[in-house]
Structure 1
Amino acid sequence: MRRTIFDIRNMKAAGEKITMLTAYDYSSALIAERAGVQIILVGDSLGMVVHGHDTTLPVTVDDMILHARMVMRGSQEALVVVDLPFMTYATLQDAVTSARKIMQGGGGQALKLEGGAEMVPVVRKLTEMGVPVMGHLGLTPQSQHQIGLRVQGKDVRAAKKLIEDALALQEAGAFGLVLEVVPAELAAIISERLDIPVIGIGAGAGCDGQVQVWHDVLGLFEEKSPRHAKRFAEIGAQMTEALKVYVAEVSSGAFPTAAQSASIKPEILQEALQQITDR
Protein backbone atom coordinates (compact mmCIF):
# COMPACT_ATOMS: atom_id res chain seq x y z
CA MET A 1 0.00 0.00 0.00
CA ARG A 2 1.30 3.44 -0.91
CA ARG A 3 2.30 5.98 1.70
CA THR A 4 0.10 9.06 1.85
CA ILE A 5 0.61 12.65 2.92
CA PHE A 6 -0.93 11.65 6.26
CA ASP A 7 1.73 8.97 6.77
CA ILE A 8 4.42 11.60 6.17
CA ARG A 9 2.80 14.01 8.59
CA ASN A 10 2.60 11.24 11.18
CA MET A 11 6.33 10.62 10.76
CA LYS A 12 7.02 14.22 11.75
CA ALA A 13 4.64 13.99 14.70
CA ALA A 14 6.45 10.86 15.87
CA GLY A 15 9.87 12.45 15.45
CA GLU A 16 10.86 10.05 12.65
CA LYS A 17 13.21 11.42 10.01
CA ILE A 18 11.87 11.39 6.45
CA THR A 19 13.94 10.29 3.46
CA MET A 20 13.15 11.79 0.07
CA LEU A 21 15.07 11.06 -3.13
CA THR A 22 14.66 11.99 -6.77
CA ALA A 23 14.00 9.27 -9.33
CA TYR A 24 13.27 9.69 -12.99
CA ASP A 25 12.50 6.25 -14.43
CA TYR A 26 11.29 2.74 -13.72
CA SER A 27 14.59 1.21 -12.65
CA SER A 28 15.63 4.05 -10.34
CA ALA A 29 12.20 3.99 -8.68
CA LEU A 30 12.52 0.24 -8.09
CA ILE A 31 15.91 0.66 -6.45
CA ALA A 32 14.85 3.65 -4.34
CA GLU A 33 11.87 1.77 -3.03
CA ARG A 34 13.88 -1.35 -2.22
CA ALA A 35 16.16 0.89 -0.17
CA GLY A 36 13.22 2.12 1.90
CA VAL A 37 12.92 5.69 0.59
CA GLN A 38 9.60 7.11 1.83
CA ILE A 39 9.10 9.90 -0.73
CA ILE A 40 10.18 9.76 -4.37
CA LEU A 41 10.41 13.12 -6.09
CA VAL A 42 10.08 13.23 -9.86
CA GLY A 43 12.03 16.46 -9.94
CA ASP A 44 12.36 18.90 -12.80
CA SER A 45 16.07 18.42 -12.17
CA LEU A 46 15.59 15.69 -14.78
CA GLY A 47 16.04 18.48 -17.31
CA MET A 48 19.70 18.68 -16.30
CA VAL A 49 20.69 15.20 -15.12
CA VAL A 50 18.67 13.18 -17.65
CA HIS A 51 18.03 15.49 -20.62
CA GLY A 52 21.33 17.36 -20.46
CA HIS A 53 20.04 20.95 -20.26
CA ASP A 54 21.99 23.63 -18.40
CA THR A 55 18.98 24.52 -16.21
CA THR A 56 15.56 23.15 -15.29
CA LEU A 57 13.79 25.84 -17.31
CA PRO A 58 13.27 23.90 -20.59
CA VAL A 59 11.35 21.10 -18.81
CA THR A 60 7.73 20.77 -19.95
CA VAL A 61 4.57 19.29 -18.53
CA ASP A 62 4.84 16.47 -21.07
CA ASP A 63 8.35 15.70 -19.79
CA MET A 64 7.07 15.43 -16.25
CA ILE A 65 4.18 13.18 -17.30
CA LEU A 66 6.51 10.81 -19.16
CA HIS A 67 8.90 10.44 -16.22
CA ALA A 68 6.14 10.27 -13.63
CA ARG A 69 4.59 7.34 -15.50
CA MET A 70 7.89 5.47 -15.40
CA VAL A 71 8.39 6.13 -11.70
CA MET A 72 4.85 5.11 -10.81
CA ARG A 73 5.34 1.79 -12.59
CA GLY A 74 8.51 1.15 -10.61
CA SER A 75 7.14 2.23 -7.24
CA GLN A 76 4.46 0.53 -5.18
CA GLU A 77 4.85 1.97 -1.68
CA ALA A 78 6.57 5.38 -1.73
CA LEU A 79 4.68 8.66 -1.85
CA VAL A 80 5.39 10.05 -5.33
CA VAL A 81 5.63 13.84 -5.69
CA VAL A 82 5.98 15.48 -9.11
CA ASP A 83 7.39 18.94 -9.83
CA LEU A 84 5.39 21.56 -11.66
CA PRO A 85 7.77 22.94 -14.32
CA PHE A 86 8.81 26.56 -14.80
CA MET A 87 6.00 28.98 -15.74
CA THR A 88 3.35 26.25 -15.83
CA TYR A 89 1.63 27.69 -12.74
CA ALA A 90 2.05 31.42 -13.41
CA THR A 91 -1.73 31.92 -13.13
CA LEU A 92 -4.47 30.02 -11.34
CA GLN A 93 -5.75 28.67 -14.63
CA ASP A 94 -2.25 27.61 -15.68
CA ALA A 95 -1.81 25.83 -12.36
CA VAL A 96 -5.12 24.00 -12.58
CA THR A 97 -4.48 22.94 -16.17
CA SER A 98 -0.94 21.76 -15.44
CA ALA A 99 -2.02 19.92 -12.29
CA ARG A 100 -4.82 18.14 -14.13
CA LYS A 101 -2.52 17.04 -16.94
CA ILE A 102 0.21 15.76 -14.63
CA MET A 103 -2.05 14.08 -12.07
CA GLN A 104 -4.17 12.39 -14.74
CA GLY A 105 -1.39 11.63 -17.20
CA GLY A 106 1.51 10.87 -14.88
CA GLY A 107 -0.31 9.39 -11.93
CA GLY A 108 1.68 11.07 -9.15
CA GLN A 109 0.06 11.57 -5.75
CA ALA A 110 1.17 15.15 -5.11
CA LEU A 111 2.75 18.15 -6.79
CA LYS A 112 5.60 20.44 -5.76
CA LEU A 113 5.94 24.09 -6.71
CA GLU A 114 8.43 26.83 -5.98
CA GLY A 115 7.72 30.19 -4.37
CA GLY A 116 6.54 31.84 -1.17
CA ALA A 117 3.60 34.07 -0.25
CA GLU A 118 3.00 34.91 -3.89
CA MET A 119 2.09 31.26 -4.45
CA VAL A 120 -0.55 31.17 -1.69
CA PRO A 121 -3.52 31.59 -4.10
CA VAL A 122 -2.20 28.74 -6.26
CA VAL A 123 -1.58 26.43 -3.30
CA ARG A 124 -4.98 27.21 -1.86
CA LYS A 125 -6.77 26.65 -5.17
CA LEU A 126 -5.07 23.34 -5.88
CA THR A 127 -5.60 21.97 -2.37
CA GLU A 128 -9.24 23.02 -2.48
CA MET A 129 -9.54 20.96 -5.67
CA GLY A 130 -8.02 17.91 -4.00
CA VAL A 131 -4.39 18.20 -5.16
CA PRO A 132 -1.82 17.70 -2.37
CA VAL A 133 0.83 20.42 -2.73
CA MET A 134 4.38 20.58 -1.39
CA GLY A 135 6.07 23.98 -1.25
CA HIS A 136 9.70 24.80 -2.06
CA LEU A 137 11.58 27.76 -0.56
CA GLY A 138 15.16 28.98 -0.36
CA LEU A 139 17.26 28.34 -3.42
CA THR A 140 14.54 27.76 -5.99
CA PRO A 141 16.23 26.56 -9.21
CA GLN A 142 13.46 27.86 -11.47
CA SER A 143 14.39 31.38 -10.28
CA GLN A 144 18.15 30.93 -10.48
CA HIS A 145 18.60 33.72 -13.03
CA GLN A 146 16.97 36.09 -10.56
CA ILE A 147 18.32 34.95 -7.18
CA GLY A 148 21.50 33.13 -8.19
CA LEU A 149 22.80 29.75 -7.03
CA ARG A 150 23.73 30.76 -3.49
CA VAL A 151 22.65 30.40 0.11
CA GLN A 152 19.31 32.07 0.78
CA GLY A 153 18.05 33.74 3.98
CA LYS A 154 21.38 35.03 5.31
CA ASP A 155 20.29 38.57 6.23
CA VAL A 156 17.54 39.73 8.56
CA ARG A 157 15.07 40.65 5.83
CA ALA A 158 15.57 37.43 3.88
CA ALA A 159 15.41 35.23 7.00
CA LYS A 160 12.20 36.91 8.13
CA LYS A 161 10.67 36.46 4.68
CA LEU A 162 11.53 32.76 4.61
CA ILE A 163 9.79 32.18 7.95
CA GLU A 164 6.75 34.18 6.87
CA ASP A 165 6.60 32.42 3.49
CA ALA A 166 6.79 29.01 5.15
CA LEU A 167 3.94 29.84 7.51
CA ALA A 168 1.90 31.26 4.62
CA LEU A 169 2.30 28.12 2.54
CA GLN A 170 1.27 25.98 5.50
CA GLU A 171 -1.78 28.16 6.08
CA ALA A 172 -2.69 27.88 2.40
CA GLY A 173 -2.83 24.10 2.68
CA ALA A 174 0.61 22.81 1.70
CA PHE A 175 1.21 19.37 3.23
CA GLY A 176 4.99 19.72 3.27
CA LEU A 177 7.87 22.01 2.42
CA VAL A 178 11.31 21.69 0.84
CA LEU A 179 13.97 24.12 2.10
CA GLU A 180 16.97 24.33 -0.22
CA VAL A 181 20.38 25.84 0.64
CA VAL A 182 19.23 27.73 3.72
CA PRO A 183 21.31 28.30 6.89
CA ALA A 184 20.92 25.27 9.15
CA GLU A 185 19.91 27.34 12.17
CA LEU A 186 17.13 29.08 10.23
CA ALA A 187 15.91 25.81 8.73
CA ALA A 188 15.73 24.22 12.18
CA ILE A 189 13.59 27.08 13.49
CA ILE A 190 11.23 26.84 10.50
CA SER A 191 10.95 23.07 11.04
CA GLU A 192 10.08 23.63 14.69
CA ARG A 193 7.48 26.30 13.96
CA LEU A 194 5.67 24.42 11.22
CA ASP A 195 3.25 21.57 11.81
CA ILE A 196 3.90 20.19 8.33
CA PRO A 197 7.08 18.24 7.46
CA VAL A 198 10.07 20.28 6.34
CA ILE A 199 12.48 18.46 4.02
CA GLY A 200 15.93 19.96 3.71
CA ILE A 201 18.53 19.95 0.97
CA GLY A 202 21.61 21.85 2.03
CA ALA A 203 19.63 23.08 5.03
CA GLY A 204 21.17 21.14 7.91
CA ALA A 205 20.14 18.25 10.13
CA GLY A 206 17.43 20.14 11.99
CA CYS A 207 14.85 19.56 9.25
CA ASP A 208 12.27 16.78 9.50
CA GLY A 209 13.87 14.96 6.58
CA GLN A 210 16.32 15.21 3.71
CA VAL A 211 16.07 15.12 -0.07
CA GLN A 212 18.92 14.47 -2.49
CA VAL A 213 19.35 14.06 -6.23
CA TRP A 214 19.81 10.48 -7.48
CA HIS A 215 22.88 11.28 -9.57
CA ASP A 216 24.59 13.12 -6.70
CA VAL A 217 24.24 10.44 -4.02
CA LEU A 218 25.41 7.70 -6.40
CA GLY A 219 28.29 9.65 -7.94
CA LEU A 220 27.06 9.20 -11.49
CA PHE A 221 28.85 12.29 -12.83
CA GLU A 222 32.57 13.02 -12.77
CA GLU A 223 31.93 16.69 -12.03
CA LYS A 224 32.26 17.89 -8.45
CA SER A 225 29.01 17.43 -6.53
CA PRO A 226 27.24 20.42 -4.94
CA ARG A 227 28.35 21.22 -1.40
CA HIS A 228 25.02 20.04 0.02
CA ALA A 229 25.34 16.60 -1.62
CA LYS A 230 27.14 13.55 -0.30
CA ARG A 231 28.34 10.78 -2.60
CA PHE A 232 27.36 7.55 -0.90
CA ALA A 233 28.92 5.55 -3.74
CA GLU A 234 30.94 6.07 -6.92
CA ILE A 235 28.64 4.17 -9.23
CA GLY A 236 29.59 6.30 -12.22
CA ALA A 237 33.26 5.33 -11.93
CA GLN A 238 32.33 1.67 -11.47
CA MET A 239 30.12 1.79 -14.57
CA THR A 240 32.91 3.37 -16.61
CA GLU A 241 35.41 0.71 -15.55
CA ALA A 242 32.93 -2.08 -16.27
CA LEU A 243 32.29 -0.73 -19.76
CA LYS A 244 36.01 -0.43 -20.41
CA VAL A 245 36.33 -4.15 -19.66
CA TYR A 246 33.40 -4.83 -21.99
CA VAL A 247 35.04 -2.86 -24.82
CA ALA A 248 38.35 -4.66 -24.25
CA GLU A 249 36.79 -8.13 -24.22
CA VAL A 250 34.79 -7.50 -27.38
CA SER A 251 37.89 -6.11 -29.09
CA SER A 252 40.02 -9.10 -28.08
CA GLY A 253 37.36 -11.70 -28.82
CA ALA A 254 37.18 -12.79 -25.18
CA PHE A 255 33.45 -11.96 -25.15
CA PRO A 256 31.11 -13.63 -25.81
CA THR A 257 32.03 -17.14 -24.75
CA ALA A 258 29.98 -20.32 -25.11
CA ALA A 259 28.27 -19.41 -21.86
CA GLN A 260 26.71 -16.34 -23.49
CA SER A 261 25.90 -18.06 -26.80
CA ALA A 262 23.19 -20.37 -28.10
CA SER A 263 24.02 -23.54 -30.06
CA ILE A 264 22.47 -25.75 -32.72
CA LYS A 265 22.93 -29.46 -33.28
CA PRO A 266 25.57 -30.02 -35.98
CA GLU A 267 23.32 -32.34 -38.00
CA ILE A 268 20.54 -29.74 -38.15
CA LEU A 269 22.94 -27.05 -39.29
CA GLN A 270 24.45 -29.42 -41.86
CA GLU A 271 21.02 -30.29 -43.25
CA ALA A 272 20.08 -26.63 -43.51
CA LEU A 273 23.28 -25.85 -45.38
CA GLN A 274 22.78 -28.87 -47.66
CA GLN A 275 19.29 -27.65 -48.60
CA ILE A 276 20.74 -24.28 -49.55
CA THR A 277 23.48 -25.94 -51.61
CA ASP A 278 20.97 -28.19 -53.39
CA ARG A 279 19.01 -25.23 -54.75
Structure 2
Amino acid sequence: MSAQGKTKHPSKLSAGMLQNLKKEHRKISMLTCYDYSFANIANQSDIDILLVGDSGIMTLFGYPDTTYGTIELMEMMTKAVVTGAPDKFIIADMPFLSHRKGIHHALDSAERLIKCGAQAVKIEGLSGHKDVIAYLIESGIPVMGHLGLTPQSVHATGYKVQGRNTDDFQAIIADAMMLQELGVFAMVLECVPTELTEKITQMLDIPVIGIGAGNASDGQVLVLQDMLGMTQNIKPKFVRHYLNGFHTIQTALNHYHQDVKNASYPDATESYHLRNNQVQGNTATKIKQLMEQLS
Protein backbone atom coordinates (compact mmCIF):
# COMPACT_ATOMS: atom_id res chain seq x y z
CA MET A 1 0.00 0.00 0.00
CA SER A 2 1.16 3.56 -0.70
CA ALA A 3 1.34 6.35 1.87
CA GLN A 4 -2.18 7.37 0.86
CA GLY A 5 -3.43 3.86 1.53
CA LYS A 6 -4.09 3.06 -2.12
CA THR A 7 -2.80 0.05 -3.99
CA LYS A 8 0.05 0.78 -6.39
CA HIS A 9 -0.71 -0.52 -9.86
CA PRO A 10 1.77 -1.26 -12.67
CA SER A 11 3.09 1.63 -14.75
CA LYS A 12 1.11 2.58 -17.81
CA LEU A 13 1.81 0.30 -20.74
CA SER A 14 2.47 1.34 -24.32
CA ALA A 15 2.29 -0.41 -27.67
CA GLY A 16 6.04 -0.91 -27.62
CA MET A 17 5.99 -2.56 -24.19
CA LEU A 18 3.54 -5.33 -25.06
CA GLN A 19 6.09 -7.37 -27.00
CA ASN A 20 8.22 -7.56 -23.86
CA LEU A 21 5.27 -9.05 -21.96
CA LYS A 22 5.02 -11.75 -24.62
CA LYS A 23 8.75 -12.47 -24.42
CA GLU A 24 8.49 -12.75 -20.65
CA HIS A 25 5.44 -15.06 -20.98
CA ARG A 26 3.32 -12.64 -18.98
CA LYS A 27 -0.35 -12.79 -19.89
CA ILE A 28 -2.08 -9.56 -20.95
CA SER A 29 -5.52 -8.55 -19.67
CA MET A 30 -7.74 -6.31 -21.77
CA LEU A 31 -11.33 -5.16 -21.25
CA THR A 32 -13.69 -3.03 -23.26
CA CYS A 33 -14.76 0.22 -21.67
CA TYR A 34 -17.03 2.96 -22.94
CA ASP A 35 -17.72 5.51 -20.20
CA TYR A 36 -16.13 7.61 -17.48
CA SER A 37 -17.56 5.78 -14.46
CA PHE A 38 -16.33 2.32 -15.42
CA ALA A 39 -13.06 3.79 -16.73
CA ASN A 40 -12.43 5.37 -13.34
CA ILE A 41 -12.91 2.01 -11.64
CA ALA A 42 -10.72 0.25 -14.21
CA ASN A 43 -8.04 2.89 -13.74
CA GLN A 44 -7.70 1.77 -10.12
CA SER A 45 -7.56 -1.91 -11.08
CA ASP A 46 -4.75 -4.14 -12.36
CA ILE A 47 -6.21 -4.45 -15.90
CA ASP A 48 -3.49 -3.86 -18.50
CA ILE A 49 -5.40 -2.40 -21.45
CA LEU A 50 -8.75 -0.72 -22.05
CA LEU A 51 -10.33 -1.08 -25.47
CA VAL A 52 -12.89 1.53 -26.46
CA GLY A 53 -14.66 -1.04 -28.59
CA ASP A 54 -17.30 -0.33 -31.16
CA SER A 55 -19.26 -2.98 -29.25
CA GLY A 56 -20.29 0.02 -27.17
CA ILE A 57 -22.61 0.87 -30.05
CA MET A 58 -24.60 -2.18 -28.94
CA THR A 59 -24.05 -2.29 -25.17
CA LEU A 60 -24.50 1.45 -24.55
CA PHE A 61 -26.75 2.61 -27.35
CA GLY A 62 -28.76 -0.53 -28.04
CA TYR A 63 -28.08 -0.90 -31.75
CA PRO A 64 -28.34 -4.46 -33.13
CA ASP A 65 -24.74 -4.63 -34.36
CA THR A 66 -21.56 -2.56 -34.70
CA THR A 67 -22.23 -1.43 -38.28
CA TYR A 68 -24.18 1.47 -36.78
CA GLY A 69 -20.97 2.88 -35.34
CA THR A 70 -19.81 6.35 -36.31
CA ILE A 71 -16.60 8.26 -35.68
CA GLU A 72 -18.57 10.76 -33.60
CA LEU A 73 -19.82 8.04 -31.22
CA MET A 74 -16.33 6.54 -31.00
CA GLU A 75 -14.89 9.97 -30.20
CA MET A 76 -17.44 10.52 -27.44
CA MET A 77 -16.72 7.17 -25.79
CA THR A 78 -12.95 7.54 -26.19
CA LYS A 79 -12.90 10.96 -24.52
CA ALA A 80 -14.91 9.63 -21.59
CA VAL A 81 -12.62 6.62 -21.08
CA VAL A 82 -9.43 8.65 -21.43
CA THR A 83 -10.71 11.12 -18.83
CA GLY A 84 -11.63 8.35 -16.42
CA ALA A 85 -8.53 6.19 -16.93
CA PRO A 86 -5.50 8.45 -17.45
CA ASP A 87 -3.13 5.74 -16.22
CA LYS A 88 -4.18 3.02 -18.67
CA PHE A 89 -3.08 2.11 -22.18
CA ILE A 90 -6.19 2.86 -24.26
CA ILE A 91 -6.96 1.54 -27.74
CA ALA A 92 -9.93 2.77 -29.79
CA ASP A 93 -11.75 0.86 -32.50
CA MET A 94 -11.93 2.32 -35.97
CA PRO A 95 -15.70 2.30 -36.69
CA PHE A 96 -17.48 0.59 -39.56
CA LEU A 97 -16.11 1.51 -43.04
CA SER A 98 -13.83 4.24 -41.66
CA HIS A 99 -10.83 2.31 -43.02
CA ARG A 100 -12.53 1.41 -46.33
CA LYS A 101 -13.00 4.89 -47.81
CA GLY A 102 -9.40 5.52 -48.75
CA ILE A 103 -6.20 6.38 -46.98
CA HIS A 104 -7.03 10.01 -46.28
CA HIS A 105 -10.42 9.24 -44.72
CA ALA A 106 -8.84 6.52 -42.58
CA LEU A 107 -6.04 8.84 -41.51
CA ASP A 108 -8.55 11.52 -40.54
CA SER A 109 -10.60 9.02 -38.50
CA ALA A 110 -7.52 7.64 -36.75
CA GLU A 111 -6.25 11.15 -36.07
CA ARG A 112 -9.54 12.09 -34.43
CA LEU A 113 -9.38 9.10 -32.09
CA ILE A 114 -5.74 9.73 -31.22
CA LYS A 115 -6.52 13.39 -30.48
CA CYS A 116 -9.24 12.16 -28.12
CA GLY A 117 -6.44 10.54 -26.11
CA ALA A 118 -6.27 6.98 -27.43
CA GLN A 119 -2.73 5.67 -27.80
CA ALA A 120 -3.59 3.28 -30.64
CA VAL A 121 -6.40 2.16 -32.94
CA LYS A 122 -7.74 -1.28 -33.81
CA ILE A 123 -8.77 -2.23 -37.35
CA GLU A 124 -10.79 -5.31 -38.27
CA GLY A 125 -9.70 -7.58 -41.11
CA LEU A 126 -7.01 -7.13 -43.73
CA SER A 127 -8.14 -7.86 -47.28
CA GLY A 128 -8.69 -4.67 -49.23
CA HIS A 129 -7.07 -2.27 -46.79
CA LYS A 130 -3.47 -3.41 -46.36
CA ASP A 131 -2.33 -0.03 -47.70
CA VAL A 132 -4.40 1.79 -45.10
CA ILE A 133 -2.90 -0.19 -42.22
CA ALA A 134 0.62 0.34 -43.58
CA TYR A 135 0.05 4.07 -44.08
CA LEU A 136 -1.31 4.63 -40.58
CA ILE A 137 1.65 2.80 -39.07
CA GLU A 138 4.09 4.75 -41.24
CA SER A 139 2.36 7.90 -40.04
CA GLY A 140 3.19 7.06 -36.43
CA ILE A 141 -0.19 5.65 -35.36
CA PRO A 142 0.09 2.28 -33.58
CA VAL A 143 -2.38 -0.20 -35.08
CA MET A 144 -3.77 -3.39 -33.52
CA GLY A 145 -5.09 -6.00 -35.95
CA HIS A 146 -8.23 -8.11 -35.58
CA LEU A 147 -8.82 -11.46 -37.31
CA GLY A 148 -11.24 -14.36 -37.08
CA LEU A 149 -14.77 -13.23 -36.36
CA THR A 150 -14.91 -9.55 -37.30
CA PRO A 151 -18.23 -8.14 -36.02
CA GLN A 152 -18.28 -5.29 -38.57
CA SER A 153 -18.67 -7.99 -41.24
CA VAL A 154 -21.67 -9.56 -39.52
CA HIS A 155 -23.92 -9.14 -42.55
CA ALA A 156 -21.47 -11.12 -44.67
CA THR A 157 -20.24 -13.77 -42.24
CA GLY A 158 -22.71 -13.89 -39.35
CA TYR A 159 -21.71 -14.63 -35.76
CA LYS A 160 -19.98 -17.99 -36.03
CA VAL A 161 -16.61 -19.56 -35.29
CA GLN A 162 -14.06 -18.88 -38.02
CA GLY A 163 -11.15 -21.04 -39.25
CA ARG A 164 -12.71 -24.47 -38.84
CA ASN A 165 -11.98 -25.68 -42.37
CA THR A 166 -8.57 -26.05 -43.96
CA ASP A 167 -8.83 -23.09 -46.32
CA ASP A 168 -10.02 -20.67 -43.65
CA PHE A 169 -7.45 -22.00 -41.17
CA GLN A 170 -4.63 -21.32 -43.61
CA ALA A 171 -6.07 -17.97 -44.69
CA ILE A 172 -6.20 -16.64 -41.13
CA ILE A 173 -2.60 -17.73 -40.55
CA ALA A 174 -1.53 -15.96 -43.75
CA ASP A 175 -3.37 -12.79 -42.73
CA ALA A 176 -1.80 -12.90 -39.27
CA MET A 177 1.67 -13.14 -40.77
CA MET A 178 0.90 -10.27 -43.15
CA LEU A 179 -0.37 -8.06 -40.33
CA GLN A 180 2.86 -8.62 -38.43
CA GLU A 181 4.83 -7.81 -41.57
CA LEU A 182 2.87 -4.58 -42.00
CA GLY A 183 3.87 -3.57 -38.49
CA VAL A 184 0.85 -4.00 -36.21
CA PHE A 185 1.94 -4.10 -32.56
CA ALA A 186 -0.58 -6.79 -31.55
CA MET A 187 -3.75 -8.46 -32.77
CA VAL A 188 -7.06 -9.78 -31.54
CA LEU A 189 -8.17 -13.28 -32.57
CA GLU A 190 -11.92 -13.69 -32.11
CA CYS A 191 -13.97 -16.90 -32.13
CA VAL A 192 -11.46 -19.29 -33.69
CA PRO A 193 -10.43 -22.84 -32.69
CA THR A 194 -7.87 -22.93 -29.90
CA GLU A 195 -5.57 -24.96 -32.17
CA LEU A 196 -5.44 -22.05 -34.61
CA THR A 197 -4.79 -19.60 -31.78
CA GLU A 198 -1.93 -21.73 -30.50
CA LYS A 199 -0.35 -21.94 -33.97
CA ILE A 200 -0.56 -18.19 -34.63
CA THR A 201 0.62 -17.26 -31.13
CA GLN A 202 3.69 -19.47 -31.58
CA MET A 203 4.46 -18.12 -35.06
CA LEU A 204 4.20 -14.42 -34.27
CA ASP A 205 6.55 -12.17 -32.33
CA ILE A 206 3.72 -9.75 -31.52
CA PRO A 207 1.16 -10.43 -28.78
CA VAL A 208 -2.06 -12.23 -29.68
CA ILE A 209 -5.11 -11.34 -27.58
CA GLY A 210 -7.91 -13.87 -27.70
CA ILE A 211 -11.67 -13.67 -27.25
CA GLY A 212 -13.47 -16.95 -27.72
CA ALA A 213 -10.13 -18.31 -28.94
CA GLY A 214 -8.99 -20.57 -26.13
CA ASN A 215 -6.20 -20.15 -23.60
CA ALA A 216 -3.14 -20.45 -25.85
CA SER A 217 -2.99 -16.72 -26.69
CA ASP A 218 -0.81 -14.12 -24.99
CA GLY A 219 -3.82 -12.51 -23.33
CA GLN A 220 -7.57 -12.18 -23.22
CA VAL A 221 -10.19 -9.52 -23.87
CA LEU A 222 -13.84 -9.48 -22.86
CA VAL A 223 -16.68 -7.02 -23.11
CA LEU A 224 -16.90 -5.45 -19.66
CA GLN A 225 -20.69 -5.79 -19.43
CA ASP A 226 -20.44 -9.47 -20.39
CA MET A 227 -17.79 -10.17 -17.78
CA LEU A 228 -19.87 -8.41 -15.11
CA GLY A 229 -22.96 -10.44 -16.03
CA MET A 230 -25.02 -7.37 -16.87
CA THR A 231 -26.80 -8.87 -19.86
CA GLN A 232 -29.70 -11.21 -19.15
CA ASN A 233 -30.13 -14.43 -21.12
CA ILE A 234 -27.13 -13.64 -23.36
CA LYS A 235 -23.97 -15.59 -22.56
CA PRO A 236 -21.64 -16.72 -25.35
CA LYS A 237 -19.73 -19.93 -24.63
CA PHE A 238 -16.46 -18.08 -24.07
CA VAL A 239 -17.81 -15.57 -21.51
CA ARG A 240 -17.19 -16.10 -17.81
CA HIS A 241 -19.32 -14.05 -15.41
CA TYR A 242 -17.26 -12.62 -12.56
CA LEU A 243 -20.34 -10.95 -11.11
CA ASN A 244 -24.08 -11.41 -11.43
CA GLY A 245 -24.35 -7.75 -12.29
CA PHE A 246 -27.88 -7.86 -13.68
CA HIS A 247 -29.34 -9.39 -10.51
CA THR A 248 -27.17 -7.29 -8.18
CA ILE A 249 -28.16 -4.01 -9.80
CA GLN A 250 -31.81 -5.03 -10.19
CA THR A 251 -31.95 -5.91 -6.49
CA ALA A 252 -30.43 -2.57 -5.52
CA LEU A 253 -32.92 -0.67 -7.70
CA ASN A 254 -35.86 -2.54 -6.17
CA HIS A 255 -34.50 -1.95 -2.66
CA TYR A 256 -34.27 1.78 -3.36
CA HIS A 257 -37.80 1.73 -4.80
CA GLN A 258 -39.19 0.11 -1.66
CA ASP A 259 -37.33 2.50 0.64
CA VAL A 260 -38.82 5.46 -1.21
CA LYS A 261 -42.32 3.93 -1.14
CA ASN A 262 -42.26 3.23 2.61
CA ALA A 263 -40.55 6.56 3.39
CA SER A 264 -37.51 4.92 5.00
CA TYR A 265 -35.27 6.81 2.60
CA PRO A 266 -33.95 9.32 3.33
CA ASP A 267 -33.74 9.01 7.09
CA ALA A 268 -32.68 11.72 9.52
CA THR A 269 -28.97 11.02 9.08
CA GLU A 270 -29.34 11.47 5.32
CA SER A 271 -31.18 14.78 5.65
CA TYR A 272 -30.10 18.34 6.40
CA HIS A 273 -31.47 20.26 9.42
CA LEU A 274 -31.42 23.78 10.78
CA ARG A 275 -29.00 24.21 13.67
CA ASN A 276 -30.59 24.85 17.07
CA ASN A 277 -29.01 28.29 17.40
CA GLN A 278 -30.51 29.25 14.06
CA VAL A 279 -34.02 28.28 15.14
CA GLN A 280 -34.21 29.57 18.71
CA GLY A 281 -35.77 33.01 18.96
CA ASN A 282 -36.39 33.30 15.25
CA THR A 283 -39.73 34.44 13.94
CA ALA A 284 -41.52 32.78 11.06
CA THR A 285 -40.31 35.60 8.84
CA LYS A 286 -36.68 35.01 9.71
CA ILE A 287 -37.07 31.28 9.17
CA LYS A 288 -38.57 32.01 5.75
CA GLN A 289 -35.63 34.28 4.92
CA LEU A 290 -33.19 31.61 6.06
CA MET A 291 -34.93 28.98 3.97
CA GLU A 292 -34.68 31.25 0.94
CA GLN A 293 -30.95 31.63 1.54
CA LEU A 294 -30.54 27.85 1.70
CA SER A 295 -32.49 27.17 -1.49
Establish whether TM, by shorter chain, passes 0.5.
Answer: yes
Contact 1:29/1:71 (8 A) holds in 2 = yes
Once the two structures are overlaid, the 10-residue window that deviates more, 154-163 or 258-267, is 258-267
Equivalent of residue 249 in structure 1, options 249, 255, 259:
259
Distance 1:256 1:167, change over 3 A: same
- The one-letter amino acid of 1:98's match is S
Equivalent of residue 123 in structure 1, options 113, 123, 133:
133
* C-alpha deviation, 1:193, in angstroms: 0.4
- The one-letter amino acid of 1:80's match is I
Distance 1:264 1:188, change over 3 A: same
Match of 1:4 in 2: 14
Q: What CA deviation, in whole Å up to 9, does each residue of 1:86-142 have, x standing for no partner?
A: 0111121221111111111x1100000101243321110000000000000010000
Match of 1:97 in 2: 108
- The one-letter amino acid of 1:66's match is M
Q: Determine the C-alpha separation between the residues in 2 that align with 1:271 and 1:225.
A: 63
Q: State the SS of the aligned residue for 1:116.
A: coil
Match of 2:149 in 1: 139
Equivalent of residue 221 in structure 1, options 231, 237, 252:
231
Equivalent of residue 163 in structure 2, options 153, 156, 161:
153
TM-score, L = length of structure 1: 0.95
For structure 1, which runs of at least 5 residues remain unmatched after alignment? none
Contact 1:117/1:168 (8 A) holds in 2 = no
Equivalent of residue 162 in structure 1, options 159, 172, 189:
172
Q: Determine the C-alpha separation between the residues in 2 that align with 1:273 and 1:59.
A: 59
Q: State the SS of the aligned residue for 1:215.
A: helix
Q: What CA deviation, in whole Å up to 9, does each residue of 1:146-189 have, x standing for no partner?
A: 01100001111101100000011111111100000000001110
Match of 1:189 in 2: 199
Q: Determine the C-alpha separation between the residues in 1 that align with 2:47 and 2:286.
A: 60
Distance 1:176 1:262, change over 3 A: same
Equivalent of residue 35 in structure 1, options 45, 64, 82:
45
Contact 1:176/1:196 (8 A) holds in 2 = yes
* RMSD of aligned residue pairs (Cα, Å): 1.7
Q: Determine the C-alpha separation between the residues in 2 that align with 1:21 and 1:276.
A: 54
- The one-letter amino acid of 2:285's match is Q
Contact 2:99/2:129 (8 A) holds in 1 = no
Match of 2:216 in 1: 206
Runs of 4+ in 1 over 6 A off after TM superposition: none
Distance 1:137 1:272, change over 3 A: farther
Q: Determine the C-alpha separation between the residues in 1 that align with 2:79 and 2:26.
A: 29
Is 2:65 the partner of 1:55? Answer: yes
Distance 1:277 1:178, change over 3 A: closer
Distance 1:152 1:274, change over 3 A: same
Q: Determine the C-alpha separation between the residues in 2 that align with 1:276 and 1:30.
A: 42
Distance 1:272 1:95, change over 3 A: farther
Match of 1:108 in 2: 118
For structure 2, which runs of at least 5 residues remain unmatched after alignment? 1-10, 290-295
Is 2:34 the partner of 1:24? Answer: yes
